[in-house]
Amino acid sequence: MPSTYTPIATTTVGTATPNITFSSIPSTYTDLILIGNIAQTSATAYQGYVYTNLGGTNSNTYLKGNGSAAASGRYTGGVGSYFAIDGVTNSASTFGTLICHIMNYANTTTYKTNLIRYSEAGKDVEASVGLFGSTSAITSVSVGMQVSNIAVGSTFTLYGVKSA
């Protein structure tokens, strides 16, 4: 059987930055998997978000728990799919785990749906489903911060999974 789950690119943040981008993504895979170990630079919790080269409508529905309560909400009309990252004061040296699956990213028939798991000690455990509302193929994937910067030491790897 054909082996898959192939690393496409990886990056480590050496200087705090508002975003990182994987561009010129080949169209030869079926799904993309973005794995990140991420922290941000502000003392205040802010939203991170995964976004692409697609225009159109972007939104995501989330489910999260903070250790005492479960909640669900939705972001609409933004630039990507959002997740909450704790402030650096509360979680010094703590990096959250981000796993974003972008399904059938290169097809030109359907809108693109992504599934995110984000977990961070001392903050939330979170799952979300997001819409990249365009039938165009995704050729770049980025992670950005809504207000602050992505912290030094954050790492990101993009994988491709190809179905038979």
Partner 1 sequence: MIGSLIGIIASSGGAVGGDYESIATVTVGSGGASSVVFSSIPSTYKHLQIRYISRTASTNANPEGDLLLVYGDPHAGNGYSHLLYGTGSTAAATNSGASSYSQYASYTTTASQTSSVFAAGILDVLDYSNTNKLKTWRTLGGWDANGSGFISLSSGIHNDTNAITSIGFGMNSGANFAQYSSFALYGIKG
Residues of the shown chain interacting with partner 1 in the complex, contacts defined by CB under 8 A: 1-5, 30-31, 57-65, 70-74, 76-77, 101, 103-104, 107, 109-111, 113-115, 117, 127-131, 133, 135, 161-164
Residues 70 and 64: their CA atoms lie apart, in Å, by 6
Instruction: Identify which of residues 8 and 16 has a Cβ nearer to partner 1 in the complex.
Output: 8
Instruction: Identify which of residues 118 and 154 has a Cβ nearer to partner 1 in the complex.
Output: 118
Structure tokens at 107: 């097809």
End-to-end CA distance of the chain: 8
Residues 107 and 102: their CA atoms lie apart, in Å, by 11
Show Cβ contacts of residue 71 under 8 Å, excluding neighbours closer than 6 positions: 63, 64, 65
Q: Give the shortest CB-116-to-partner 1 separation in angstroms.
A: 9
Whose CA is closest to 18, among 43, 44, 60, 49?
A: 49
Q: Give the shortest CB-32-to-partner 1 separation in angstroms.
A: 11
Q: Give the shortest CB-144-to-partner 1 separation in angstroms.
A: 19
Q: Give the shortest CB-120-to-partner 1 separation in angstroms.
A: 17
Instruction: Identify which of residues 64 and 88 has a Cβ nearer to partner 1 in the complex.
Output: 64
Whose CA is closest to 89, among 49, 41, 38, 146?
A: 41
Instruction: Identify which of residues 53 and 61 has a Cβ nearer to partner 1 in the complex.
Output: 61
Structure tokens at 78: 């933004």
Q: Give the shortest CB-49-to-partner 1 separation in angstroms.
A: 14
Structure tokens at 65: 């728990």
Instruction: Identify which of residues 20 and 100 has a Cβ nearer to partner 1 in the complex.
Output: 100
